[in-house]
């Protein structure tokens, strides 16, 4: 069995046993099926992604080291794990998610068989999972969950909105996140207003 994968699995279960305080663990988990999804899911693709929403608009930080969390209060972590090539790693990630302190997961996958968000939602239940179809052709596979298997989805490629939705869930408990969402929104509205004003002045 692949050693790299085994070690990652072990680390996830070890971390689940740590029982760290909420403020030191990532609040949002971002997981995707392939490194080719990184642009769409995070940043650098055709449009802004979840990374851009969290870091540029909502003052979150990415957490890459469990021992040394960033200074920012709100953080997210990023994993690549394929439902079809590493189903064991995917299972370990989802099984440990709640115990590792995540509040919500954003899960993205491309292709027509975009199983990662679905399986992650099924295993991490009852943690809320927001599915991101990485391609237009992934929408049906992500959104089509049967009764009893909840998952909510955003449109193809819109990991930016998935980050906003994840923040809306956090905002129910954390007023700072609520305030940042409102501040972001007012800027956005100013932008629309500016265009119409320029057409008439």
159-188: which residues touch a copy of itself (CB under 8 A)? 160-162, 164-165, 167-169, 171-173, 178, 181-182, 184-186, 188
1 binds a copy of itself (CB under 8 A): yes
Least distance (Å) from a copy of itself to the CB of residue 25?
14
State which residue, 71 or 190, has the beta carbon closest to a copy of itself.
Answer: 190
Q: Is 139 helix (H, G, I), strand (E, B) or coil?
A: helix
Nearer to a copy of itself, 67 or 71 (CB): 67
Instruction: Tell me the CA end-to-end span of the chain in Å, nearest whole number.
Output: 68
Backbone angles phi, psi at 160, to 5 degrees: -60, -50
Residues in Cβ contact with 33 at an 8 Å cutoff, skipping those fewer than 6 apart = 80, 81, 82, 83, 84, 108, 109, 110, 111, 114, 116, 134
Number of residues in contact with a copy of itself under rule CB under 8 A = 92
Q: Residue 191, SS3?
A: helix
Output the CA–CA distances (angstroms, integers) from residue 2 to 79, 81, 86, 149, 187, in the order listed. Answer: 17, 13, 10, 31, 48
The span from the CA of 27 to the CA of 133, in Å, is 22
- State both tokens at 113: 């068989």
Tell which positions 95-154 bind a copy of itself, by CB under 8 A.
103-104, 111-115, 118-119, 121-123, 125-128, 130, 137, 139-154
Nearest distance from C-beta of residue 137 to a copy of itself, angstroms: 7
Give 20 or 85: the residue with its C-beta nearer to a copy of itself: 85
- Which helix (H) or strand (E) segment holds residue 107: the answer is strand 104-109
Residues 46-105 close enough to bind a copy of itself by CB under 8 A: 47-48, 64-65, 77-87, 89, 91, 103-104
Beta carbon nearer to a copy of itself, 72 or 185: 185
CB of 71 to a copy of itself, least distance (A): 18
Site string for a copy of itself, 3-32 (x = CB under 8 A): xxx-xx------------------------
């Amino acid at each position: 069995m692949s050693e790299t994968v085994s070690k990652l699995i072990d680390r996830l279960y070890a971390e689940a046993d740590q029982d760290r305080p909420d403020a030191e663990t990532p609040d949002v988990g971002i997981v995707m099926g392939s490194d080719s999804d990184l642009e769409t899911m995070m940043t650098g693709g055709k449009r802004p992604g979840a990374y851009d929403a969290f870091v540029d608009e909502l003052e979150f930080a990415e957490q890459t080291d469990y021992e040394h969390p960033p200074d920012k209060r709100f953080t997210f972590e990023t994993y690549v794990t394929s439902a079809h090539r590493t189903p064991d790693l995917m299972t370990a990630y989802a099984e440990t998610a709640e115990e590792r302190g995540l509040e919500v997961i954003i899960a993205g996958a491309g292709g027509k068989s975009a199983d990662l968000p679905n399986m992650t939602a099924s295993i991490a239940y009852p943690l809320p999972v927001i599915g991101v179809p990485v391609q237009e052709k992934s929408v049906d596979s992500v959104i089509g969950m049967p009764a009893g298997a909840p998952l909510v989805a955003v449109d193809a490629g819109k990991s930016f909105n998935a980050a906003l939705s994840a923040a809306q869930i956090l905002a129910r408990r954390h007023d700072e996140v609520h305030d940042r969402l409102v501040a972001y929104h007012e800027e956005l509205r100013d932008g629309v207003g500016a265009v119409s004003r320029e057409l008439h002045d």
